[in-house]
Structures are given as structure tokens and as C-alpha cells.
Amino acid sequence: MSKLSFEFPDGNQKEFDAGVSVEDIAKSISVSLAKKAVAGKVDGELVDVFAPLQKGGKIEIITSESEEGLQVLRQSAAQLLETVAKKQFHDIKIGEISADEDGFYVDTDKAERQVSADELDELANQMKRIIKNDASVKRVYLSKDEALKEVDGDPYQAKIISEIDSDNILFYDIAGVLTLAQGVVAPSLKNIKHFKLLSVAGAYWEGKSSNPMLQRIYGTAFYKEAELEADLKARQEAKERDHRVIGNNLDLFFVDPKVGAGLPYWMPNGATIRRTIERYITDKELANGYQHVYTPVLANLDLYKQSGHWDHYREDMFPPMEMDDDEMLELRPMNCPSHIQIYKHHIRSYRELPLRIAELGMMHRYEKSGALSGLQRVREMTLNDGHTFVAPDQIQDEFKKILKLMMDVYDDFDIDNYTFRLSYRDPKNTEKYFDDDEMWNKAQSMLKGAMDELGLDYVEAEGEAAFYGPKLDVQTKTALGNEETLSTIQLDFMLPERFDLHYVGEDGKEHRPVMIHRGIVSTMERFTAYLIEMYKGAFPTWLAPKQVEIIPVSDEKYGDYARKLNEKLSAIKIRSHVDDRSEKMGYLIRDAQTHKVPYTIVVGENEVKNNTVSVRKYGEDNSRDMSIDEFVMEILKDISSYSRDANKEKESVDKVR
């Protein structure tokens, strides 16, 4: 029998006979380790404890303590859920089942009616019964033919089996039911003590919308009760962070179904936040060499035919309006063609490059109804858009400049939880994109090269590019954990070609510029939603709709002092307000706190006498007495520094030089 060599995490090497299992290997170290082992990991791949190993490599024994141990627990729970689902519904079909850092899921398909949320409790009870009475898991290996026979009548399982590259297919026998292994299951189910079935939702088979939709059952599981409870609590808290909830509570925005889905209204409070962001980013861009413009939201459809949007982006566009004189007008889905018109309006010299055109450009996209979500996904949005026209040899430099600007802006907003994603076209589905292999390859490698040169980490994703070029996307997560793109920088060789753009070079000849599309603070809608969730509605002073709430202890006696103070603050553009409603002071303070006003000022007898204010900052329990001038100094400094800690400044900007 041949020998296999294994290397342990501590560097030790050991040899075993081929066909040895992880359990055997663990036993050779210690019996207690073998007992604790829930799986093994060979060369980075999880394996069942009992699986006969056919090749050696780096080996790790997985116990409940590790990340992978948790994954095994969840996979076990998923496989158990599959078992009870099969017992409960004899005609059920099973699609993909999976476990990850968020929990686990099992895809099901039932002829009559899909599994409903009401049935989750019953399924969970049956899972518990098996864990209690019959927790052992037997391994059964079937040949491919036997396996296909076993899952007869279930096309999804048959498809999965047919794609397995082996004639030795592992099934788990749980309580007398065979389930195809779609991951690694622990030796026993007795560790599944703390789990919860969370919800059901549709999910396309194999993730393709052309395929039938299955019913996905979501759940989660932990080794420790405290961890499960913490997780459930975190899910609850995520809902409290939801920008739609906060937006309603703080009266920031709303969507009226009678007016239209995905068409948000900004209430004065939300509008103030948006206006502050807009002023900030406009000033920032003007200071960085951008020229701000205004261009029409409507244009002749021909413009979007020439740009390629009509061919490649029509699904996301509103249908054109046919006018009396047969002209077709289109609501723009993107601003790039508009800025191209600005570029083309004059003959451009190489001396003007890079030419940076920016606009808070309103666009309309016909988003699928199911995609709409508060301010995160809407049908009318205003993008912090910018297009730089550069000579080919300026691409790298301009890319870096944009990235530096972006990180500078992120610092001002305290955004530090994001990842870079290089988004390429899908090589298998090229008809979605402009057809020019050479340009795609060039643009993609240029982007990658720039990122590598800057030494920044990124992930690469095929099929995420814009139809006209590859992009660098900045990916963030919403409160509910969904990934979304915030900022983006896109390289475009196509539109300059399509619109026959040129500039006059030093040599007096015409040259083709390259376009860089970029959005720094995303759309006003999405960015505001992101900030609401990030700050949990407690906006830093410079962004807060109301910065100061002044509360007189008694309106009759101290109201005048409060109003005079308010005038003084308002005169220097501090967003201040006197709450002179005839309510008890405690009530007014509570109101200011629940609305997360950064500064609450109480004025009464002492303050009037000493010409001072009693200041309570949001998040602090104690109030401080200070003179009015001291307070003005403090809040002005707070606003001008974007409410940042002085020592935190400029850290990430330095990363991009």
C-alpha cells in the first residue's frame, strides 16, 4: 500500500497509508483531538473526518473552535434540514444546499405549494427530535449510477451528481434518509444545539433567471447559545440601522406609491443632508480641477443610439417619448453622452487635458420592481458624476488623482469599511459589451497595473464591467448585509471612438482622447442611504439636519434669551432651533435626543444670569456649562473639521501618493 505524507500546521511531517481518514490521523495525535474533530482540511480543502484520503499534503484537524468548524456545523444543520424536509414532504426536490459565514440554506422545490415560513417551526422541531434521538450520521458511498437511481425524480440532484467528477459519491444517512453530500458534515449531529430557521425566499436554480425558481430556506447555527443569541440580536439591530426605518423616524425622505415606486421625496431634513453633501463635493471637485456643468435630463434618442446605450442598456431605460413631430425623446440613464457634448462643443487642445467635466447629474433608470429599495435603489437618481478626458499617456496619473480624491473624501465622511473590486467584462457573454477584444484587454490590464503599482488590495470580478469599459468599484455593505457599489472609476476607450472625439496634439494633428468616468460620492440617494446606516441616524455635526436644539427651562421666563441665542447662531449659518413648545423640559430633551441632534442646549435662570449655555452633546450623558463664545468656537471647529478626530486625519490618503 502506498504511503501518503502529511504536514501539520506546526511543521511536523508524518506518513500514513493511503486511505487513511482524518479521524485516524487525529487519533495518532491524541484521542481527545479525534473526539473533537468535526472535519479535516487537506491543502486548504475541507474533508469529511471519515473520508479515505488518497493524497497527502498540508493537513489541519478542524474542531468546533475554528471558522471552518462553524461552517461544518452549519453544513450539518443544512443536511439535517434536507433530511427532515424529505421526511415531511415526500414529493420535495432539493437543489443547492450551502453554509457560509451568514448561516446556511437549503433550496427546495415542491409541486403543489412551496414551503412556507409557517412550516419552519415544525421542520425545526423535527430537526431537534433527530438530534436528540438519532444523532449519528452514516457515510454511504454510491457509484454514479446508483446515486442517480437514488435521487430518481429529482432533476436538481441528478444534475449535481452528473457534474461530480468521481464514481464514488458520498451520501449521508441521517435517520434512515440518504442525502447527497454537498459539503462536509460532522461525525455526529449532537453538536447542533443552537440553531434557528430564519426565513424562506425564492432563489433561481443555479443562479440563472432563465431557470426555475426554488424556495430557499435560510437558517443559522452555532455551537454556543450565547453566540446564537448574539447573532439574532445583531440581525435585529441591523434592522434598526436600516435607512428606511431611520429615514422615516427622522423625517428624511419618503416614497409615495401613488406617485411612483422608486421616486423618492426628500423632506427638509433629508434635503439638508443632501445639500450639505452636494455643496461639499462640488467645492471639493472645483478645487481639484473639475469644471461643473448642467446638462438636460432629456435628449433625443439618437444620442443614446450613438453612445450604444440603446443597444446595450435598453432594459434599464425608460421607453422613449414620441413627440408630435415624431421626434423621440429619451430620459437619460447616464450622463456620459451629455458630457461628451460639452467636450465636443469646442475644438480641444492637448493643453486642456486632462479636461474634467463634472455634474450632479439627474438620471432615470427603469429598475426592476423587485430591485427597488428605499434610497438604495431608485428610478430617479442624481449621480456625483465626472468625466475626465485624457491623452493616453495621462491615464495612469489621472487614475491615481481620482483615487486620491476619493480616499480624501472618504476620510471626511469617516468611511473605512470597503473593498476594491476590479470589474471586468464576462468573457463568455461578450454581446453585452462593446465588441473590441483588444481594447478590453488593454483597458483591463491598465486598471490592474495601476492598482498593483499603488499596492492596493482588490478582488477581481468578471461580468461586472460597464458595457463600455472595465471599472474599479468600491464595494460596501448595507445594514442588512447586501453588497453595493458606492464609488466607481471606469476606463473607456469606446465612447471617444463612437463619438469621434479628438484633440489637437503638440504635433498639430488630431488624436483620440480616453475617457475616465467616475463617481465619488455615488448618487445622492445611495450615498445618503449609506451614511444614514453608517451613522445610524446620528449624523456628525457638519451633516446633521439640525445641529443645535435650544431648550428654555421655561419659555415664559427664558424664551427670549433662547431666541436671541438662536438668532446669533443662525446668523453664522449654524442650523439651530428653539424648542419653545409648552412641554416639560424632560420631554423636550428626550425629543432632541431621539432625533439625535448633535448639541442640546438648555437655558434657564443660571444661564441668563451668567450669559452662558448648558451644553449636552449627543452621545454624552453630562452637560457642560460654557460661555456662548466658547460654545460657538467649539461647534464651528466641529463643523469645519468634519467632526473628525484630529489624530485620525489623513491616514488613508497617505496610502495613495
Partner RNA sequence: GCUGAUUUAGCUUAGUUGGUAGAGCAUCGGCAUCGUAAACCGAAGGUCGGAGGUUCGACUCCUCUAAUCAGCACCA
Q: Which is nearer to RNA, 257 or 455 (CB)?
A: 257
**How many chain residues bind RNA (CB under 7 A)?**
84
626 binds RNA (CB under 7 A): no
Query: Cβ of residue 406: shortest distance to RNA, in angstroms?
Result: 13
Selected range binding RNA among 71-79, 182-190, 362-370, 541-549, rule: CB under 7 A: 362-370
* Residue 650 to residue 654: CA distance in whole angstroms: 6
607 binds RNA per the rule CB under 7 A: yes
Q: Is 309 annotated as a binding residue?
A: no
Instruction: Please state the closest distance from residue 407 (CB atom) to RNA, in A.
Output: 17
Q: Considering the complex, what minimum distance in angstroms separates the CB of residue 381 from RNA?
A: 4
Checking phi first, is residue 620 left (phi over 0); if not, alpha (psi -120 to 50) or beta? beta
Within residues 547-576, the interface with RNA by CB under 7 A covers 553-557
Q: How far apart are CA 273 and CA 243, in angstroms?
A: 14
Task: Provide the pairing of β-strand 548-552 with 599-603.
Answer: parallel
Site for RNA in 438-477 (CB under 7 A): 463-464, 466, 473
- Residue with cell string 465619488: 520
Q: How far is the CB of 642 from RNA (least distance, A)?
A: 22
595 marked ligand binding residue: no
The binding track of 293-332 with respect to RNA, each residue x by CB under 7 A or -, is ----------------------xx----------------
Using the structure block, give the residue that is written with the C-alpha cell 442640546: 600
Tell the residue number behind the cell numbers 457573454, with chain if given.
429
Q: Which stretch binds RNA (CB under 7 A): 69-77, 157-165, 255-263, 284-292?
A: 255-263
Q: Which three cell numbers stand for residue 499?
A: 463619438
Examine residue 116 and tell whether it contacts RNA (CB under 7 A).
yes
Binding segment toward RNA, per CB under 7 A, in 157-165, 179-187, 272-280, 364-372: 364-372
| Grid cell digits, residue 432 | 453585452
| Binding residue (CB under 7 A) for RNA from 12, 133, 582, 647 | 582
Using DSSP, state whether 91 is helix, strand or coil: coil
Task: Measure CA 273 to chain center.
Answer: 21
From CA 49, how far away is CA 30, in angstroms rounded? 15
For residue 137, give the H/E element and its range. Answer: strand 137-142
Judged by CB, which is closer to RNA: 305, or 581? Answer: 581
Residue 111's contacts (CB-CB under 8 Å, 6 or more residues apart) are 91
Q: Is 548 exposed, middle or buried (0-12, 13-18, 19+ CB in 10 A)?
A: buried
Which of 486, 489, 516, 532 contacts RNA by CB under 7 A? Answer: 486
- Name the segment binding RNA (CB under 7 A); options: 81-89, 348-356, 414-422, 605-613: 605-613
Beta-bridge mates of residue 515: 389, 492
**DSSP secondary structure string for all residues of 81-112:** HHHHHHHH-TT-EEEEEEEETTEEEEEEE-SS
Tell me, what DSSP letter sits at residue 377?
A: B
For residues 69 and 95, which CB has a smaller minimum distance to RNA in the complex? 95
Q: Is 525 in the site for RNA (CB under 7 A)?
A: yes
409 binds RNA (CB under 7 A): no
Distances, alpha carbon 599 to alpha carbons 369, 511, 532, 639, in Å: 40, 56, 18, 12
Q: Was 387 annotated as part of a binding site?
A: yes
Task: Fill in the amino acid letter for 84.
Answer: V
Among 594, 611, 627, 640, binds RNA (CB under 7 A): 594
- Residue selected from 31, 226, 261, 347 as contacting RNA according to rule CB under 7 A: 261
List binders of RNA among 146-205 (CB under 7 A): 199-204
Cell of 102: 451568514
Considering the complex, state which of residue 191 and residue 382 has its C-beta at the smaller distance from RNA.
382
| Listed ranges 64-72, 171-179, 282-290, 481-489: which one lies at the site for RNA (CB under 7 A) | 481-489
Is position 606 an interface residue for RNA (rule: CB under 7 A)? yes
Q: Are 600 and 616 in contact, with CB atoms under 8 Å apart?
A: yes
CA gap 262, 529 in Å, rounded: 14
- Residues at the binding site for Zn(2+) are 336, 387, 517
- Residues at the binding site are 336, 387, 517
